[in-house]
Structure 1
Amino acid sequence: MGIETILVIILWGALIAYIVWRFMPARGLKKMKQEEFRASLRKGQLIDVREPNEYKGGHIIGARNIPVGQMKLRMKELRKDQPILMYCQGKSRTNQAAKLLLKNGFTDVYMLEGGFKNWKGKIKKD
């Protein structure tokens, strides 16, 4: 087996490991159906992890925008003693944000099942 073949195998293995890690559900992240999520809005911190332009195009009333790419730097804005209710358009960015939060000591982390694209409640546009 040549060195090129070994390198290709290593690269493919790394790519597969990255894909599995990125899309694997965050351990400790709890999913909430819309009814339960809506009922919990006043009990926790509502975070929209989408990009600012998506947030301005429409978001759940009361949500703060902390894009997933900024979560590591801005997680100090969040309280660990209150539940965190998050959503993105679907679920992958919420999952990424949850992994960061759970790794950094947050324990009460929830996501909106189905994401914003399936939200039936009231929204606000900026």
Structure 2
Amino acid sequence: MSLNEELATLRKELAERAALGDQLVTKREMEHFMSFRSLREVTEAAGHLERSGWQVDRTEGQDANSRYLLRAYREQTLDVESAEQALRGVYAITDKHGGSYDGFGARLITAEGSEPQGFFGRLFGTP
């Protein structure tokens, strides 16, 4: 997906999280996933991400599609500005090193003592 499509997906997910009661201003680990064609590309991207304040995990060897996988993560809030800035930065680094951006994730954090609504609760407006 293009950066604009990724940003639209991020905004949609943040809105869904807010509707579920996610405390978007609470720090948690946000992670981004990428893949690269060569060992050189993944190594250079990992170094660039680390210099930019991210921690990285990478797989040993290639996956079934002959790609090298990389995960970048750090503790941060998920307010729109912070989340978009993080996505833009990781996406740019991935693109610069010839990689493919594969998505993002973060755990849901609700107010202390509350339970996130299940599927039917969201559908029918009940917990």
Regarding TM over 0.5, the answer is no
Higher helix share: 1
Name the TM-score, length of structure 2 as normaliser.
Answer: 0.26
Name the TM-score, length of structure 1 as normaliser.
Answer: 0.27
